[in-house]
Amino acid sequence: MTDTSREPLSPLRWENGVLMVLDQRALPGRTEWLVARSADDVVVAIRDMAVRGAPAIGIAAAWGVVLAACSGGREGVVAALPRLAAARPTAVNLHWALERMEGVLGRAPDAELATALEAEARLIQEEDLAQNRRMAELGAAFIAPGARVLTHCNTGALATAGIGTALGVIREAHRQGKLAAVYATETRPWMQGARLTIWELSQEGIPATLITEGAAGQLMQREGIDWLIVGADRITANGDTANKIGTYSLAVLAKAHGAKVMVVAPGSTIDLRLPDGGSIPIEQREAAEILRAAGLTEAPPGIAVSNPAFDVTPALMIDVIVTERGAVEQPGAGRMQALFSEQKQ
């Protein structure tokens, strides 16, 4: 069982009618909490990457709805919903959480609206934490003793209500004494792996080695890994998976070197309305992110910059998708439908 004796780290706290957001842009050098007093504050926090990770984005958006209700009642919520939904387009958890809050909006009377929305946001956050514990146990069961694992981006407590998705599996496998080595990519251009994943692992006392994305092929060729373990921002009906840019490249390398690929994500990440990965909207972020990462204030004149935040890994390259409802091995449309047929479409 996952160790629950410690209070899990969470990037979001509801305190005295405001949302406290751990500013992940400042980590690991500084621990800074932003105070979100309005839905628009939450939009900015999501858009500007102060809060990131698909589950955490959904939770933050739910609290954004509560803030809108507290200040503007039902009309305030109606006005805030599209702004929150547009904060980041790829993570389906955002839209899933807002749909749940809309459900409360449709059935709660005006006098009880803010209280009912707060209860729903709290439930979404608590459910995510419980789901992470369950996924950690299910995913760790696939890992054999002595395994060497690689992860990409940050999928830990900072990306969720606590514990994490893919990183939660790694934590649990470490607790069970199964891991011989853990590797994490830098994850450019925001360096979530270098700044956040390595920091989280160090907080847990889990030895890990940081590599650049460009070093992953050599690592697999010379030393080998057993599992590439990643999260997801959206998974379609056939099992295609959108995750942080660079995941697809790592999956290609993993399959070429005989390693397995595990995707760990809650059921709220499954989008049965989309048939395959070609239907997933891919967020394009501003060129300045790449330029800053390269130490440039501006690009040479006339240069084009492409900065997609995500790529899509086809289901045929994934060995198992782990959710709180169970694991789908060799995912495809039939197997995904069998597990998630009860999910609202």
Question: What is the enclosing helix (H) or strand (E) of 262?
Answer: strand 260-264
Q: Tabulate helix, strand, coil % of the chain (nearest 5).
A: 45, 20, 35
Burial of residue 110 (CB within 10 Å: 0-12, 13-18, 19+) is exposed
- 215, with CB counted inside 10 A (0-12, 13-18, 19+), is middle
Cis ω before 89 (30° cut-off from 0): no
Q: From the candidates 226, 233, 271, 311, which is the catalytic residue? A: 233
Alpha-carbon distance of 123 to 120, in angstroms, equals 5
β-pair type (234-236, 241-244): antiparallel
128 is a catalytic site residue = no
What are the backbone dihedrals phi and psi of residue 329, each rounded to the nearest 5 degrees, phi first? -85, 145
Pairwise CA distance, residues 264 & 231, whole Å: 5
Q: Which residues contact 328 (CB under 8 A, 6 or more apart)?
A: 239, 320, 321, 335, 336, 339
List residues with catalytic annotation: 233
